[in-house]
Amino acid sequence: MGCIFCEFVSGERKIQLNGLPFLPLKETENTVSFLSMDFPENEDGHILVIPKKHYQFVEKIPKNIHHELNDHVISIIMAVRSYHGGCNILLNDGKCAGQTVFHAHYHIVPRDSGDGIKIEVWKKKTVDENEFRNIHNKLSKIIKSFG
């Protein structure tokens, strides 16, 4: 099975899985944005921004394309904020993080007060300062090993 986003970019596919059309909102040399077929209940859609070339994970995107992708995301954010109170910017990186299309992509979800969308819903645990510092030190070492 091929990548649906690559099929959109190549023109091979013009229809999303739910029958709605693939219609680019903005396109640059290396990026494209479009409405996702998944609309939050109380908002008018959510936008996906993708690199045109297939990269499964965000760290695989070359720096020049990543900069172009970032600029594209920022332009969509500014547009969304012009008619909404704000937005969430999401990247599901890997199957365990909820990624279902394994082509790196950003979600921009329009937000308004009282829209009832629950993006960051997880059971929270209480940590004391000692555990907090231990977690910090562990992550700091891991992050430093990647430069």
What structural domains does the chain harbor?
4-116 (3.30.428.10)
Separation between Cα atoms, residue 77 and residue 82, nearest integer Å? 9
- Nearest partner of 105 among 8, 15, 1, 17, judged by Cα: 8
**pLDDT tens string 74-120:** 999 999 999 899 999 999 999 999 899 999 999 999 999 998 888 87
**pLDDT tens string 42-86:** 777 789 999 999 999 999 999 999 999 999 999 999 999 998 999
* Residue 1: pLDDT over 70: no
Supply the pTM of this predicted model. Answer: 0.88
Residue 97 backbone dihedrals phi, psi, to 5 degrees: -95, 5
What six digits make up the tokens of 46?
A: 């959510």
Single-letter code of the amino acid located at 72: H
